[in-house]
Amino acid sequence: MMGEQYHHRALAWWTSGQTGLTQSSSAPTAIHFTAPAEFGGLEGRWTPEDLLLSALASCFTTTFHRLAAYAKLEYLDLEVEAEGTTEKADSGYKFGGISLCARVRVPNEDAREQATTVLEKAESLCLVSRALASPPIFQLRVEVGKGQPVA
């Protein structure tokens, strides 16, 4: 539907020392974050880089799941891995590249072509990847296996 808009909001604040909190208007639980360890952050905490890559992977996952339901594609498993590399640039650090590897497992060979089509459509419609200045590089795979379809 044309003209629909949805508002999303997140708030982040520095709590003390080397850590901060971020919270979304849609979730009750805040997430502790820090700078990457190589920049003096704490080990074992989320970093903004982790959150960006998680946003990309989870957006692709939800987009694929919705498109699969619409296409009546039964799949057994979906795993999406996002990786990024940061590098020093003239104006500070930046992501030098982001890649996303999506692996979907379908129950039989007959579903392979449809799964590929849905993966490719999810690639083009993923809202987070479309919002990035440097579009991620996608790697899409379909595997055939046994198991129960994802609801």
What pLDDT sits at residue 136?
Answer: 74
Q: What is the pTM of this model?
A: 0.85
CB 131 within 8 A of CB 107: no
Min mean pLDDT across 38-42, 96-100, 135-139 is at 135-139
CB 104 within 8 A of CB 116: no
What pLDDT sits at residue 151?
Answer: 57
* CATH no. of 48-144: 3.30.300.20
In the chain, alpha helices (H): 48-71, 112-125, 127-131
pLDDT tens, position by position, 71-127: 999 999 999 999 999 999 888 888 888 999 999 999 999 999 999 999 999 999 999
Structural element, H or E, at residue 2: none
CB 146 within 8 A of CB 107: yes
pLDDT tens, position by position, 56-68: 999 999 999 999 9
User: For the chain, which residues make up each domain, given as ranges?
Assistant: 1-46, 48-144
